[in-house]
C-alpha cells in the first residue's frame, strides 16, 4: 500500500474515533488529481507515521483492557476471594471471642463455635512440670469445665486479670498470640498467686482454630510464636 493510500486509511480511522487522537491538518495546496504533492506530502507522511504509532499504542492498551478472561481462571479468582473473606470474618469473630469470653473462663462456659471439631490443645506449664495434649472439641470443653469446677473447690478466688492480643498488621496471618495473667488464692494460702501465660491460636484456611498452645512465660522462651514481653527492670 502506498503512502498516499495509507494516509487516507489512517485519516479515516482517526475521524471514526471521533477525536480520540488529534487529526493532523494539511495546509496549502495539498492535492493534485487526488495525490498529495510537494512539501505538504512529506509533512503529511511524517504526521501519518507519528499518529499511526500513537494509535497502535492506544489500541494495544485498549486490547489489554478488553482481553477476555478465561472462565476457569475467573472462577478460581472468585473462589479465592470468597475464601479470603471467610477467613477474615472467622478470624474477626475469634478475636471478639478472646476479648469477651476468655476474661470469664473461671466463671462461665466458653463458646467453641470458632473451633474445629478436631482442634488440638497443647499445654506446657513449666512451673508445674505439666506437659500434655488433648485432641477434640469435646475434650477441650471438658478442660474448660474442670477449670471452672476447680476454681470453686480449691480457690478462694480465681480470675483473669488481663488479656492482651498481640497486634498483627496482616489480616491473613494464620496465628493469633494472646498474653494473659491470672490471679488466684488457694483456700489455705495466705497470699494470692499471680501467673502469666501465652496462648497461640493456629488457624486453618477457613479461619477456624485447629491448634492451641498454652504455656507459661517463665522462663522466657522464643520457642513460641510470640515472645514474652520484657520485664520492667530490663
DSSP letters of 132-188? EEEESHHHHHHHHHHHHHHHHHHEEEEEEEEEEEPP-S-TT-SEEEEEEEEEEEETT
Residues 6+ apart with CB under 8 A from 65: none
Whole-number percent of the chain with pLDDT over 70:
65
What pLDDT does 117 receive? 94
What pLDDT does 230 receive? 42
pLDDT in tens, 196-217: 889 999 999 999 999 999 998 7
CA-CA-CA-CA dihedral for 155, 161, 162, 163, to nearest 10: 30
pTM: 0.63
Stretch 39-58: mean pLDDT? 61
Q: Round the average pLDDT of the chain to a whole number and report it.
A: 76
pLDDT of residue 140 exceeding 80, the answer is yes
Q: Is 26 helix (H, G, I), strand (E, B) or coil?
A: coil
CA atoms within 13 A on the CB side of 125: 10
What pLDDT does 201 receive? 95
pLDDT of residue 24 exceeding 50, the answer is no
Stretch 58-78: mean pLDDT? 69
What pLDDT does 19 receive? 46
What pLDDT does 63 receive? 60
Amino acid at each position: 500500500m502506498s503512502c498516499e493510500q495509507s494516509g487516507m486509511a489512517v485519516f479515516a480511522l482517526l475521524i471514526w474515533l471521533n477525536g480520540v487522537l488529534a487529526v493532523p491538518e494539511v495546509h496549502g495546496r495539498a492535492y493534485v488529481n487526488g495525490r498529495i504533492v510537494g512539501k505538504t506530502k512529506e509533512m503529511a507522511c511524517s504526521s501519518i507515521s507519528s499518529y499511526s504509532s500513537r494509535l497502535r499504542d492506544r489500541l494495544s492498551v485498549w486490547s489489554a483492557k478488553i482481553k477476555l478472561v478465561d472462565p476457569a481462571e475467573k472462577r478460581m479468582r472468585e473462589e479465592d476471594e470468597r475464601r479470603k473473606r471467610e477467613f477474615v470474618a472467622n478470624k474477626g469473630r475469634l478475636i471478639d471471642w478472646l476479648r469477651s469470653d476468655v476474661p470469664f473462663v473461671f466463671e462461665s462456659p466458653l463458646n467453641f463455635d470458632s473451633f474445629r471439631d478436631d482442634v488440638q490443645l497443647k499445654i506446657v506449664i513449666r512451673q508445674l512440670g505439666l506437659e500434655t495434649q488433648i485432641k477434640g472439641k469435646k475434650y477441650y470443653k471438658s478442660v474448660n469445665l474442670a477449670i471452672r469446677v476447680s476454681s470453686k473447690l480449691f480457690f478462694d478466688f480465681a480470675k483473669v486479670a488481663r488479656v492482651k492480643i498481640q497486634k498483627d498488621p496482616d489480616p491473613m496471618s494464620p496465628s493469633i498470640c494472646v498474653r494473659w495473667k491470672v490471679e488466684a488464692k488457694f483456700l489455705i494460702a495466705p497470699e494470692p498467686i499471680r501467673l502469666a501465660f501465652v496462648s497461640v491460636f493456629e488457624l486453618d484456611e477457613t479461619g477456624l482454630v485447629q491448634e492451641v498452645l498454652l504455656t507459661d512465660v517463665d522462663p522466657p522462651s522464643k520457642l513460641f510464636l510470640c515472645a514474652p514481653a520484657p520485664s520492667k527492670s530490663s
